[in-house]
Amino acid sequence: MKFLIAGLGNMDIDYFGTRHNVGFDVVDQIATKENLKWDSGRYVHKCEFKHKGKTILLIKPTTYMNLSGKALKYWMEAEKISIQNVLVVLDDLNLEFGKIRMKADGSDGGHNGLKDIQLMLGTNKYPRLRIGIGNNFHKGGQVNFVLGKWSEKENQILQDIISKSAEACLSFCSIGLSHSMNTFNSFQVKLKE
């Protein structure tokens, strides 16, 4: 049984530590915990490991966010991984910062990575883990907010969110989508006053 966890982000160093790259941060956390080294593959950086009898392939697309679907589709086909064994990890400004949500399907919510995945896979019915980044920006400030660095205040609880998201990914691979949704969708950590 093989699973694919795709963390979404942009590979350019300018994007590291930004809200839009939190998907990369989550798969990096898993790789660090498992003592894995990233290898270069077609359209991705990747690594593979065993967890509770399952083989898990982690990928970080190198295609830039807007072409994430190209990388995901290629590796699903190359590794013969079915869509229900794929989990896409991404930032979501429609979700409050401090919350995470696992879902079986849904709209792209204006997220360019999800738009491309939906286009390439021909469906919006694939599991995803949305990590709330909130929408604390003024009109016209969305791009700068999404591509901006985390605030000092956000950084105080960010590691908790990334760790819990990494746990949710491994749970998805071991106990399945619905049990993982029940376990992790109530997670919330509040910003300290």
Active site (annotated) includes residue 51:
no
Identify which of 5, 6, 7, 51 has the alpha carbon closest to the alpha carbon of residue 25: 7
In this prediction, residue 147 carries a pLDDT of 95
Catalytic residue among 20, 51, 111, 179: 20
Structural contact between residues 189 and 161, judged by C-beta atoms closer than 8 angstroms:
yes
pLDDT in tens, 28-86: 999 999 999 999 999 999 999 999 999 999 999 999 999 999 999 999 999 999 999 99
Give the whole-angstrom CA distance, residue 83 versus residue 125: 8
| pLDDT tier, 192 (very low <50, low <70, confident <90, very high otherwise) | confident
SS3 60: strand
Domains of the chain: 2-184 (3.40.50.1470)
Flag whether pLDDT at 193 surpasses 90: no
